[in-house]
Amino acid sequence: MLRAVCPGSFDPLHNGHVEVIARASSLFDEVIVAVSKNPSKKPRFSLEERMDMARETMTLLRGITVEPMGEGLLAEFCRDHGAGVIVKGLRSAVDYNYEVPMAAMNRQLTGVETVFLSADSHYTHLSSTLLKEVSGLGGDISDYVPRAVYKRLKDTR
Ligand code: PNS
C-alpha cells in the first residue's frame, strides 16, 4: 500500500493544485492533502477555511483525505502518517530550484522520497497569490479555481 502526501498552504487551492492531486491519486493508493499552517506566511484564509475548501473539492475524488499539517516538519508528518512519498507539482525551473533542496532535506530527515509531477501547461502560470490579486481587482478567475474556492474568494473581495 503506497500512501503519498501532497503538502501546501493552499491559500487558496487552485485548479493547478487539484490537477496534481488528482494525478497523484491515480499513482498512489492513498493521498493525504496536508494543509500547512506556515507561520512565515500571513494567509488570507484560516487553516479551517483552507481545509474546508479542499475537503469540498476533494469529495469528487476517491482515496483522498485532507489533514491539517500544523507548524511541524513535513518529513515528520509523513512518517507519522505512514506516507513514504511527497508529491509536488513543478511549474518552472524556479519551482525546481526551490523544491530540490527541500526534497533532499526531507529524505535525509526521515527517508521520505519526493516525486515531482510537471504541471499541466494550462496551469503553469497559476499561483494562489496571483489569483487572489486578480480576483480582488474584479477579474474572472472561474476557470482557475474549484467552485468552493470561487465562491469564498468572491465573498471576501
Ligand atoms: O504551498 P506552499 O506554501 O509552497 O507549501 C510549502 C510547504 C508547506 C510544502 C513547506 O513550507 C513545508 O514543507 N513546510 C513544512 C515545514 C518543513 O518541513 N520545513 C522544512 C522543509 S525541508
User: How many structural domains are present in the chain?
Assistant: 1
pLDDT score of 39: 76
Buried b (16+ CB within 10 A) or exposed e, 121-137: eebeebebeebbeebee
Closest ligand 1 atom to residue 40 Cα is 11
Residue 28 lies in domain: 3-155
pLDDT score of 155: 84
Angstrom distance (rounded) from CA 157 to CA 135? 7
pLDDT score of 106: 98
CATH code of the domain covering residue 73 = 3.40.50.620
pLDDT score of 38: 78
Whose CA is closest to atom 18 on ligand 1? 73
pLDDT score of 62: 87
Per-residue pLDDT of the chain (157 residues; tens, 9 = 90+): 999 999 999 999 999 999 999 999 999 999 999 999 977 888 999 999 999 999 999 997 889 999 999 889 999 999 999 999 999 999 999 999 999 999 999 999 999 999 999 999 999 999 999 999 999 999 999 999 999 999 999 888 7
Of residues 71, 69, 11, 75, the one with CA closest to residue 42: 11
Pocket of ligand 1 (CB under 6 A): 7-9, 36, 38, 73-74, 102, 105-106
Mutate which of 18, 33, 38 for ligand 1 pocket (most atoms within 8 A of beta carbon) = 38
Return the sign of the alpha-carbon dihedral for residues 96, 12, 123, 19.
positive
pLDDT score of 31: 98
Give the residue carrying C-alpha cell 502518517: 81
- At position 69, the amino acid (one-letter code) is M
Q: Which three cell numbers stand for residue 47?
A: 487553516
Whose CA is closest to atom 7 on ligand 1? 8
Upper half-sphere CA count for residue 10 (Cβ side, 13 Å): 34
